[in-house]
Amino acid sequence: MHCIIFIDVFIEQVNAQLVSLDKNATKCFYYAVLYAAGIVNEFGPEDVRTAACILALPLASSKSRNSSSKDNLYKWLFGSLGACMGVLFAMGLILLYRMRDKRKKQKALHEEYVTGVKARVLPNTGAKWFSLAELEQATKGFPQRNMIGQGGYGVVYRGILSDGTVVAIKQILNLDTKGDDEFVNEVEIISKIKHKNLLSLRGCCVTSDPSRGKRRYFVYDFMPNGSLNDHLFNKKPLSWPQRKNIILDVAKGLAYLHYGIKPAIYHRDIKATNILLDSEMRARLADFGMAKQNMEGQSHLTTRVAGTYGYLAPEYALYGQLTEKSDVYSFGIVILEIMSGRRVLDTTNSSTLLITDWAWTRVKSGNVGEIFDDTIREGGPRGVMERFVLVGILCAHVMVALRPTISDALKMLEGDIDIPKIPDRPLPLSHESFRSSLWYSASMSERSRACSSISSV
């Protein structure tokens, strides 16, 4: 009863205040009733169900609104995440496509390289084309323990083919266009020649891929006794019969190149490291990467000098004049190295004495025996050994016209023809008589330029 009276009084007071604010208002009483109902209902003024009680309208609770807000947030997050993942997936597909396209183009370029190199080799060459897998199997993956030699142009490994044949596999290191030219040149030349004193080429391999790049390989017969250089200068002494046979073997192989095939082939790099020895210590001339065929109608002058300093004929080193006598000069140097056990250049001397100058001074003074290596000085017939030394000096004469052909040199070595009187050699450039002359200065300058051009090969 008191509560009702209180509500009535409260409504009259609220209504009076509202009317005083606007005398023309007609609905202030109802507003006050609704306001009072909101205060005294059973749910309380802060409960959302109050409005439902007064107005009979179902309203969402704060919990429902919070839940709805969270649902919207989750939807936004998942939607954004899905969109990002979609964009990333699309970008990944594009990147994957581009990478695949790039690899495809690279693979095509590498395949084109291999095809191009093979196409440059004449179809009548007898070399077998090995696959890289065959060579890796033969060498057990090219490990360090199977490496039997290394030089400026390649690394040589020992390998065993599937049929049990022991071979030497040479990997070419210089991968430029010049290297390709030398590779093709050697394949073409050595595949055409068959001689017991020339190293046989069993096959080759050209491969290229994006991961390891371009690679070229030669597969040769294996020479178990290494190179002549190993025996002459690495404490593996040779007997006189072995030295004699090696000199004759090299002469026979070189004679075949000059006269046994057409067109003739000039080796251009005859030296101790390019003479290999088989199981019976018989010599085989190797490494035809710089060999040149003597095509008819071509000039004998070349602007590109190839070879090793000390073994090069003077006219070839200085003027690029290439003839069969250029190989004969290098052969003469090798004879003197074999007979004396000395290197072509004596670097212990301040004037860097050439072996030809050193040997000639002893021959001229009548002391030919001083040229012989200590290990053979008492091991062979003196007359025969002197004949070999004289042939070496004659072959390595500075005057082209005074050198014999390789066929005549072979006949002299075998004693079939006499050795002509060896004419005097010009004084070496290191001789003291030239030291104060302008000619000496000009000659040394010319030799320096020649050496520079040779070292750049």
**Binding residue positions for ATP:** 170
In angstroms, the CA 182 to CA 173 distance is 12
Helix ranges (H only) for 221-348 are: 228-233, 240-255, 314-319, 324-340
Number of H helices, E strands in the chain: 14, 12
- What the block records as the tokens of 203 is 């096959």
Cβ atoms < 10 Å from Cβ of 443: 14
- Residue 422's nearest CA partner among 375, 363, 382, 374 is 363
Cβ(324)–Cβ(300) below 8 Å = no
- What the block records as the tokens of 265 is 């082939």
Cβ(393)–Cβ(360) below 8 Å = yes
Cβ(310)–Cβ(345) below 8 Å = yes
327-341: b or e for each residue (b if 16 or more CB lie within 10 Å)?
Answer: bbbbbbbbbbbbbbb
- What the block records as the tokens of 249 is 């073997």
State the binding site.
170
* DSSP at 227: B
Cβ(54)–Cβ(37) below 8 Å = yes
Residue of 180, 249, 269, 287 marked catalytic: 269
253-270: b or e for each residue (b if 16 or more CB lie within 10 Å)?
Answer: bbbbbbebeeebbbbbbb
Integer CA distances (angstroms), 185 to 69, 123, 267, 287, in order: 81, 13, 12, 11
How long a stretch of residues is the chain? 457
Q: What would the DSSP string read from start to end of 3-27? A: HHHHHHHHHHHHHHHHHHH-TT-S-
CA angle 410, 416, 417 (to 5 degrees): 90
Cβ(397)–Cβ(403) below 8 Å = yes
In angstroms, the CA 375 to CA 369 distance is 12
Identify whether 416 is a catalytic site residue: no
Catalytic residues: 269
